[in-house]
Structure 1
Amino acid sequence: MDFLRWTLIFLVLALVSAALGFGGFAADFAYIGKILFFIFLVLFIVGLIFGRGRGRTL
């Protein structure tokens, strides 16, 4: 879940940079956030697939 937190941080940084007029920084932050989001998405799907084999433990 660490990738999701970093994705949200870069999203906020991109929005703040865009609002303040720093276009280059906003594009960089958005690009990094997009990459982290897709890494998180892949890891989430892999976790769902491989987590199905385990039964519920109480």
Structure 2
Amino acid sequence: MLRWTITFIIIAIIAGVLGFGGIAGAAAGIAKIIFFIFIVLFVLSLFKGVIKK
């Protein structure tokens, strides 16, 4: 999931440099959403690991 976030950030940077503002904004927004989903799943897995022991 973190790989997808990095991919979308790179797409956003390249699109921003080339002047495609709409695509850059959309890619950055998608990267933010995926990153927050990753953080939530990571924290949940940490809690699950602590509770399981």
In the superposition, the TM-score normalised over structure 1's length comes to 0.85
* 1:36 has 2:27 as partner: no
Unaligned runs of 5+ in 1: none
What does 1:2-41 correspond to in 2, within 5 Å? 3-41=1-39
Among all aligned residue pairs of Structure 1 and Structure 2, give the percentage whose two residues are the same amino acid.
47
In the superposition, the TM-score normalised over structure 2's length comes to 0.92
Q: How many residues align?
A: 53
- Once residues 11 and 49 of structure 2 are traced to their aligned partners in structure 1, the CA distance between those partners, rounded to angstroms, is 33
* Higher fraction of helix: 2
Instruction: Give how far 1:54 is off.
Output: 4.2
RMSD: 1.0
Instruction: Tell which structure's C-alpha radius of gyration is larger.
Output: 1
Which stretches of structure 1, 4 residues or more, deviate above 2 A after TM superposition? none
